[in-house]
Chains A and B, each alone.
Chain A
Amino acid sequence: MSEYKTLAHEGLWKNNAALVQLLGLCPLLAVTSTVTNALGLGIATLLVLVGSNVTVSIVRNWVPKDIRIPVFVMIIAAFVTIIQLLMNAYTFGLYQSLGIFIPLIVTNCAIIGRAEAYASKNTPILSAWDGVMMGLGFAAVLVILGAMRELIGQGTLFDGAELLLGEWATALRIEVINFDSQFLVAILPPGAFLGLGLIIAAKNYFDERQKAQTQPTAPAEKAERARVTSLT
């Protein structure tokens, strides 16, 4: 059981794909302009990650080491195609607004990274759990970043949620602040970089604080050096 707990902690926080490994930055930065887009891409990535992790784990004993990467990529591409067709069928508006970034899930390093680092060495059930946790961690960062950018950029939340969730979701749209003019930089790519930097800083802050709380060690006494030279 503790294996599952470790995997959850790794995927959601300690080894978060977006915040710590900094993998999959391209979709992370490109599609998080609204919560809806971020949530859509997050769910798509999560599904692909779980599917590919399970499949890779099942076939891991029959795939020769030398050609494992192309095989993994083909498995991932198959799942991405499935997701793409599903989104095209059921969430067409979102499919159009995400555009090229759905097929580009294939190239998301977070997915091939998990296939290579975890799924190819572990049992299907553990791999599926790892996929769920990693995917949730990634999706959570996407949604937080999307919320930040949407809120600062246009003052709303869940704008266009009906594209993802159907007609009833129009009611989800919250107008938090009413801007006369949009704060464009938050919606443009620079805002994504700034936002991601701030989220990483916040995570580091929490980590540091936790570390300070759990082990209140006395600061190591600094050796007093007679002469300090820094020739590096």
Chain B
Amino acid sequence: MKLTMASSPHNHSLKSVNKLMICVMLACIPGILVQSYFFGIGVFIQLALALTTVSLAEAAMIKLRSRPVWPTLSDGSAWLTGVLIAVSVPPLAPWWVVVIGACFAIVIVKQLYGGLGFNLFNPAMAAYVLLLISFPVQMTAWLPVQSLLNTPITLFDQIALIFTEATYSGLSLEQARQVIDGATGATPLDHVKTATGQSLTVQEAMDNNAFTRFAGEGWQWVNLAYLLGGLYLLKAKVINWHIPVAMIASLAVCSLFGYLLGGQAGVAFHLLSGATMIGAFFIATDPVSASTTNKGRLIYGALIGLLVYLIRQFGGYPDAVAFSVLLLNMAVPLIDHYTQPRTYGHGAKK
């Protein structure tokens, strides 16, 4: 028998990878429920597809690498990746979109880099970006919230849309997502981006029936639900406060300046639309690909917030959480290098 002694401190948080991942997935539940309330049952179908695919892909890759399958698979990290991919694709996207994304995330981004703990990039976000640049049409086909739809899409039609790309009565997704005034439903971020591109002011753009409150019907509640889940994660000490607080604060400061100086969309709009909250609490905080020092986490989060604002405001895409997270993943080794905390008793300032 081999007894090993690690160096101090000897206390242990009693949290295994498995427990942490389960905790994060539980915290996603309010967000997923709200999302499916507003955008239909498609979210659950995408979840089932993504979870099946990641399990198969992970098991196949571990088998290829001659590692024990069940212990690695059951740490849950692949399932969390699957959940994040499933909630970030449009609920009625064709089934192969989420399957391709999940395979790419697990096979290329995670396992080819060496598996959990060695991936440079956040697998879910790398997969999302792959899908977004590969299938721009399918990946931007977000539904307007159900209450704004011309004809409500039934459960049966949603399943048909995902698997056959047409409803039972033969409508394509493009036709099914028409809203009452005949315009195609777009996400609030998308809408504001297009409208300001046509030299309307932000106020005019938001003066639309899709914008009943701060950030567009539906989306604000989805974001608030993810915020709730995120607060639970903070309370359970699964994540540190540094990254989400830094990211939200920097996005808020940037959008405040934009609002005061440039008449752009306000703070609440930026914080409660798109992927802000799920990004801040669930995606940017990925323990593998994020910065590992406390000072570094603050810098990492703040730069993500800044990039999200810059890309949303000046870039070509309506939302930017995935791009920002990937760009900052690349910067993490540098950030970590310059923010190493001082070892106790060494290198004190003179």
Residues on A facing B (Cβ under 8 Å): 180-186, 188, 190, 194
Contacts and interface: CB of A to CB of B under 8 A. Distances in A.
B138 A185 contact: no
Interface of B: 100, 108, 130, 133-138, 165
Contacts of A184: 133-136
B135 A194 contact: no
Contacts of B138: 181
Q: Is the interface of B mostly helix, strand, loop or mixed?
A: helix
Given A183-B100, A184-B135, A194-B108, 10 more contacts: A181-B135, A181-B137, A181-B138, A183-B135, A184-B133, A184-B136, A185-B130, A185-B133, A190-B130, A190-B133
A182 B138 CA distance: 11
A188 B133 contact: yes
B108 A183 contact: no
- Centre residue among B100, B134, B136 by max chain A CB count within 10 A: B134
Nearest to A184: B134
A188 B165 CA distance: 26
B60 to A, nearest CB: 16
Nearest to A153: B134
B248 to A, nearest CB: 30
18 contacts: A180-B165, A181-B135, A181-B137, A181-B138, A182-B134, A183-B100, A183-B134, A184-B133, A184-B134, A184-B135, A184-B136, A185-B130, A185-B133, A185-B134, A186-B134, A188-B133, A190-B130, A190-B133
Nearest to A201: B112
Nearest 8 A-B pairs (CB), nearest first?
Answer: A185-B134, A184-B134, A183-B134, A185-B130, A185-B133, A181-B135, A184-B133, A181-B137
Contacts of B134: 182-186
A54 to B, nearest CB: 42
Contacts of A194: 108
Nearest to B100: A183
B304 to A, nearest CB: 21
A168 B259 CA distance: 62
